[in-house]
Amino acid sequence: MKIKPLQIIAHIILILGVLLMVVPIWISFASSSHDSVTILTEGMKFHIGDQLARNYNEVLNEKGGWSEEVTAAKMFINSFIMALGIATLKVAISAMSAYALVYYRFKLAVPIFWLIFITLLVPLEVRIFPSYKIVSDLGLTNSYTGLILPLVASATATFFFRQFYKTIPDELLESAKLDGANGWSFFIDFLVPLSKTMIAAMFIFMFVYGYSQYLWPLIMTTAEEYWTVVMGMKIIYTESYEGVALPRTAERFAYIILSMIPPVLVVVFLQKWFIKGLIQTEK
Amino acid sequence: MSFLDLKNVTKIYPNGTKAVHETSLSINEGEFMVFVGPSGCGKSTLLRMVAGLEDITEGDINLDGKLMNEVDPSERDVAMVFQNYALYPHMNVYNNLAYGLKNRGIDKETIEQKVNDAAKLLQISDYLQRKPSMLSGGQRQRVAMGRAIVRNPKIFLFDEPLSNLDAKLRIQMRLEIKKLQQKVGVTSIFVTHDQVEAMTLADRLAVINNGIIEQLGTPIEIYDNPKSLFVAGFIGSPQMNFLDGNLKNKTLSAEGFEIKDINSDYEGEVTLGIRPEHLIQTENGLINLKVDLVEQLGSDNLVYGQLKNKKDFCYRCPGNQTIEKGSNLSLNIENNKHYIFDKSTGKRVN
Ligand SMILES: Nc1ncnc2c1ncn2[C@@H]1O[C@H](COP(=O)(O)OP(=O)(O)OP(=O)(O)O)[C@@H](O)[C@H]1O
Ligand SMILES: [Mg+2]
């Protein structure tokens, strides 16, 4: 087989790209297996040390926070629930609203679509005070509902679903109608299975979006039992070194590595459909 | 009242296009009706109104004694075969056929039985587990038919279902559709712009032009006795020859010849129509044709040429006659089979 120079260059670029992504993760992982003292004195590590089990055990089970009650494991669970709720509801709501916009040609469909689209300009950070006011008036602070609900509407996903539904030929709807399908069964029996790759892709994006929320949970939660991973990253190991103790750098690395696992699991689990969704559209 | 009854049905699209004009039509139970006409004449629109996929602007549609105007397509008990088949891409063939039955709440065993019967009838039993994307065009066509048959609907609607197939398969499927319809005996409407398809399939034929049914009748009636210039030109292949002429005192004077004793009192400018197959070669015939081109089809020869006044003209003769390019033919009208139309209105006058 002949290899062209262009191919070699392309592969070099790709390999560099891979290294750029993988090396920091590896350094974090390697560093998480050493003693904090070693890292503080010698810098970050490339090789695995002997403190791996101890560090990870400590991160997962040590009770932290001001009340010394919340563990990192609890925060992972919180974040997972929040991200799962956000992703599921976002996908479901966007798919359904796109369905309404495309298939029910009521007069206001176009203005409503643009209204939804404009909300892209008003992300949560911009409307955080009104959102907080509403959620707190509803008594939803310090609850999963409060964490999830204000984030479940998605203009982006609605847009993508809308574009996808528009590519589905009208005859499909028509012949389904003649076969006795009603509005609901067309959605469930046709649009959902036809867009399952799209749903998987959207779900992954939205999961990562929900998982990496910082500001909203920070404002929403005062009880430590609702803390999320990203908040914890900032808070959990700060209290112990104020004063005399050393910063617990190694545990922090372990925490970071652990925090990556849930999104990675979601990607691994859905990747079959996800990749299909990116590279091919089913006829 | 007949099985399907259209009364003064009109369709005006929201953008103002008037696609169907006050059309009335009755179709009997078990009849195979074909709508034929040029592209954009409103055939699909008419069919889709019967299916319930388009609203009826004005008029009434009755199916089996019930007014259909406001009935949802899912409740009409009609089945349609679309031009691109519109098979359900994510379901295998079995489920494509079974879907409509499931929606009707029929139990599993009955569904299986019906699907298997329909599959056998259409010879698609071997593909039941395949997705539509793994089928050839002809097989997809059969699945689409199967989906219609399996539900045993009141009426079958076909919207140019054969136009995506190659010529040979089209002829084969045409035959199969006809046989199948006769076997199942379901009332059918078939839309096509192919006049051969129309002639071969139809029990009765509706020739549609600009949203109006120009003529309704059996294929032979329409071929033998076209009521207008449009129908005469549309039905028959190769097309009827048209010559300008003048009718006065029952005498037609056309391009260099006269026909006497015309059975019409009309006087004025007319168009004379002669089918290429209604000509015979004689000595001292009425028409002199200078041959430009001969198409040999085997069974027939199509002779194209010009008259004295440079007008294009076509003559069809048996394939065993040899005709030289550039020769001059003298032709007569066989059995005086000619058609005369009012030039301004296109109405038949003889
Ligand atoms: N949704 C629509 N909105 C506006 N005008 C339409 C619409 N659908 C069809 N028309 C118009 O109505 C007329 C009839 O269309 P129709 O589709 O019935 O034609 P057709 O006879 O089926 O033609 P073809 O043989 O090309 O399928 C055409 O002039 C077409 O432009
Ligand atoms: Mg059409």
Are B216 and B244 in a shared domain? no
Asked if residue A70 belongs to a domain, the reply is yes
Output the pLDDT for position B100: 93
Strand duo B187-192 + B32-36: pairing: parallel
Q: Do B133 and A283 touch (CB under 8 A)?
A: yes
SS3 A214: coil
SS3 A204: helix
- Chosen domain end from B187, B213, B232: B232
Q: Which two tokens stand for residue B167?
A: 């010529």
pLDDT tens, residue by residue, A202-219: 999 899 999 988 888 888
- Whether B284 is in the pocket of ligand 1, judged by its Cβ within 6 Å, is no
More confident residue, B140 or A242: B140
Q: Do B53 and A177 touch (CB under 8 A)?
A: yes
Domain tally for chain A? 1
Domain of residue A114, residue span = 65-279
Q: Do A178 and B90 touch (CB under 8 A)?
A: no
Q: Do A181 and B74 touch (CB under 8 A)?
A: yes
Q: Chain B partners of A178 at a C-beta cutoff of 8 Å?
A: 51-53, 73-74, 76, 78-80, 100
Does A42 touch chain B if contact means CB atoms closer than 8 Å?
A: no
The amino acid at residue A139 is G
To the nearest whole Å, the CA of B177 is away from the closest chain A CA by 19
Asked if residue B40 belongs to a domain, the reply is yes
Q: Whole-angstrom Cα distance, residue B143 to residue B135?
A: 9
Phi, psi of A102, deg, nearest 5: -85, -40
Please tell me whether the peptide bond between B238 and the residue prior to it is cis, using omega within 30 degrees of 0: yes
pLDDT tens, residue by residue, B65-107: 999 999 999 899 999 999 888 999 999 999 999 999 999 999 9
Q: What ipTM was estimated for this complex?
A: 0.83
The amino acid at residue A83 is A
Residue B8 confidence class, pLDDT cut points 50, 70, 90: very high
Asked if residue A67 has pLDDT above 90, the reply is no
Asked if residue A253 has pLDDT above 90, the reply is no
Are B79 and B174 in a shared domain? yes
Q: Whole-angstrom Cα distance, residue B255 to residue B249?
A: 18
Are B157 and B179 in a shared domain? yes
Phi/psi region, residue B284 (left: phi>0; alpha: psi -120 to 50; beta: rest), is left
Q: Whole-angstrom Cα distance, residue B144 to residue B125?
A: 14
Nearest to A175 among B76, B80, B90 (CB): B80
Q: Which CATH number covers residue B257? A: 2.40.50.140
Are B259 and B302 in a shared domain? yes
pLDDT tens, residue by residue, A124-147: 888 888 889 999 999 888 889 988
Which residue on chain A is closest to B133 by alpha carbon? A283
Asked if residue A242 has pLDDT above 80, the reply is no
Domain of residue B327, residue span = 238-342
Output the pLDDT for position B225: 94
Q: Do A194 and B89 touch (CB under 8 A)?
A: yes
Q: Which CATH number covers residue A252? A: 1.10.3720.10
Q: Whole-angstrom Cα distance, residue B217 to residue B102?
A: 39
More confident residue, B191 or A74: B191
Which range (A54-58, A77-81, A141-145, B334-338) has the least confidence? A54-58
Output the pLDDT for position B285: 86
* Portion of chain B with pLDDT greater than 70, in percent: 100
Does B130 touch chain A if contact means CB atoms closer than 8 Å?
A: no
**Mean pLDDT score, A3-29:** 91
Asked if residue B350 belongs to a domain, the reply is no
More confident residue, A183 or A279: A183
Vertex B228: Cα angle to B44 and B299 (nearest 5): 85
Asked if residue A258 belongs to a domain, the reply is yes
To the nearest whole Å, the CA of B175 is away from the closest chain A CA by 24
Q: Do A169 and B53 touch (CB under 8 A)?
A: no
Q: Do B84 and A169 touch (CB under 8 A)?
A: yes
Asked if residue B322 has pLDDT above 70, the reply is yes
Asked if residue A283 has pLDDT above 60, the reply is no
Q: Whole-angstrom Cα distance, residue A80 to residue B205?
A: 66
Does B84 touch chain A if contact means CB atoms closer than 8 Å?
A: yes
Asked if residue A73 belongs to a domain, the reply is yes
Return all residues near A146 (Cβ < 8 A) that are at least 6 apart.
A135, A138, A140, A220
**Mean pLDDT score, A47-74:** 76
Does A172 touch chain B if contact means CB atoms closer than 8 Å?
A: yes
Asked if residue B86 belongs to a domain, the reply is yes
Phi/psi region, residue A206 (left: phi>0; alpha: psi -120 to 50; beta: rest), is alpha
Q: Ligand 1, atom 1: nearest CA belongs to which residue? A: B13
Output the pLDDT for position A69: 67
In a mutational test of the B interface, the residue from A178, A185, A186 whose CB has the highest number of chain B CBs within 10 Å is A178
Tell me which ligand sits closest to the C-alpha of residue B18: 1
Asked if residue B310 has pLDDT above 50, the reply is yes
Asked if residue B349 belongs to a domain, the reply is no
Contact assessment for residue B190 and residue B33, using Cβ atoms and an 8 Å cutoff: yes
Asked if residue B199 belongs to a domain, the reply is yes
Q: Ligand 1, atom 22: nearest CA belongs to which residue? A: B44
Residue B261 confidence class, pLDDT cut points 50, 70, 90: confident
Are B44 and B188 in a shared domain? yes
Asked if residue B66 belongs to a domain, the reply is yes
Asked if residue A150 has pLDDT above 60, the reply is yes
- Chosen domain end from B178, B197, B232: B232
pLDDT tens, residue by residue, B34-48: 999 999 999 999 999
Asked if residue A162 belongs to a domain, the reply is yes
- Chosen domain end from B216, B232, B248: B232
Rg over CA atoms, chain A: 23
Q: Chain B partners of A180 at a C-beta cutoff of 8 Å?
A: 74, 100, 103-104
Asked if residue A282 has pLDDT above 70, the reply is no
Asked if residue A109 belongs to a domain, the reply is yes
Are B198 and B305 in a shared domain? no
The amino acid at residue B14 is P
Phi, psi of B155, deg, nearest 5: -150, 140
Q: Do A174 and B82 touch (CB under 8 A)?
A: yes
Output the pLDDT for position A41: 81
Output the pLDDT for position B1: 62
Q: Ligand 1, atom 2: nearest CA belongs to which residue? A: B13
Tell me which ligand sits closest to the C-alpha of residue B206: 1
Asked if residue B82 belongs to a domain, the reply is yes
Asked if residue A235 has pLDDT above 80, the reply is no
The amino acid at residue A145 is T
In the reported structure, the alpha carbon of residue B47 is separated from the centroid of ligand 2 by a whole-number distance in angstroms of 9
Mean of pLDDT over chain B = 92
Does A193 touch chain B if contact means CB atoms closer than 8 Å?
A: yes
Nearest to A177 among B73, B88, B151 (CB): B73
Are B249 and B163 in a shared domain? no
In the reported structure, the alpha carbon of residue B195 is separated from the centroid of ligand 2 by a whole-number distance in angstroms of 14
Strand duo B268-274 + B339-342: pairing: antiparallel
Q: Which CATH number covers residue B55? A: 3.40.50.300
Does B170 touch chain A if contact means CB atoms closer than 8 Å?
A: no
Are B182 and B34 in a shared domain? yes
Return all residues near A83 (Cβ < 8 A) that are at least 6 apart.
A207, A208, A209, A210, A211, A262, A263
Q: Chain B partners of A187 at a C-beta cutoff of 8 Å?
A: none
In the reported structure, the alpha carbon of residue A174 is separated from the centroid of ligand 2 by a whole-number distance in angstroms of 15
Asked if residue B348 belongs to a domain, the reply is no
pTM value?
Answer: 0.82
Residue A241 confidence class, pLDDT cut points 50, 70, 90: very low
Output the pLDDT for position B320: 87
Q: Do B82 and A171 touch (CB under 8 A)?
A: yes
Residue B208 confidence class, pLDDT cut points 50, 70, 90: very high
Asked if residue B62 has pLDDT above 90, the reply is yes
Within 10 Å of residue A65's Cβ, how many Cβ atoms?
18
To the nearest whole Å, the CA of B158 is away from the closest chain A CA by 12
Are B80 and B57 in a shared domain? yes
pLDDT tens, residue by residue, B101-150: 999 999 999 999 999 999 998 899 999 999 999 999 889 999 999 999 99
Are B124 and B226 in a shared domain? yes
Asked if residue A32 belongs to a domain, the reply is no
Are B104 and B19 in a shared domain? yes
Instruction: Tell whether the torsion through CA atoms of B268, B274, B280 and B281 is positive or negative.
Output: positive
Output the pLDDT for position A237: 63
In the reported structure, the alpha carbon of residue B40 is separated from the centroid of ligand 1 by a whole-number distance in angstroms of 5
Are B71 and B184 in a shared domain? yes
Domain tally for chain B? 2
Nearest to B103 among A171, A175, A181 (CB): A181
